[in-house]
Amino acid sequence: MPIIDLTRQTNLTVDVGGELAVNGTIDIVQDGLQIGSTAVTTTAAELNKLDGATLSTTELNYVGGVTSSIQTQLNQIVDGTTDFTGNIDIGSTGTPKNLKVWGDLEVVGSGVSFDVSQVQAEDPIMQLNYISNVAQTA
């Protein structure tokens, strides 16, 4: 293979019809490397981050604008201490869903209503306060 000394060359275009082997380093100034007449503007470090990635462009675009850990953000949505405001729908369309609560459940408000055909409680003591303000123990 012939050896060409390019030490003092600038603005050099090399058209290689086969394989180009480099014994050393190639220093390409920003926007100097082009693939199909499109300038490659990324750094080697940025390219190395993508090396081995198996995600699609669509999947990568899902995280566009994310500035912190996605899991941390999800954990903050419902972490057991989050105060919800407004309406919370569980199974509001389609098949109704069940709500299971482990621990205490407190429902407060003057507009609290239940539309059920059956209430099942496994608590040995349950107080029902009716509109007539009469308390009963089941």
Residue 117 CB-half CA count within 13 A? 0
The reported pTM is 0.32
Q: Is 62 a member of any domain? A: yes
pLDDT 10s digits, 13-65: 767 777 777 777 777 765 677 777 788 888 888 888 888 889 898 998 988 88
Domain of residue 73 covers 32-77
* pLDDT higher at 62 or 11: 62
Q: Is 42 a member of any domain? A: yes
Q: Is 117 a member of any domain? A: no
pLDDT in the model for residue 43: 82
Q: Which residues pair with 136 in a beta bridge?
A: 128
Q: Which residues pair with 128 in a beta bridge?
A: 136
Q: Is 60 a member of any domain? A: yes
Q: Is 71 a member of any domain? A: yes
| Contact between 73 and 79 (Cβ < 8 Å) | no
Host H or E run for residue 48: helix 44-50
Q: How many domains does the chain have?
A: 1
Q: Is 40 a member of any domain? A: yes
Q: Is 61 a member of any domain? A: yes
Residue 129 scores a pLDDT above 70: no
Return the minimum-mean-pLDDT range out of 32-46, 82-96, 120-134.
120-134
Once rounded to an integer, what is the mean pLDDT over residues 110-123? Answer: 69
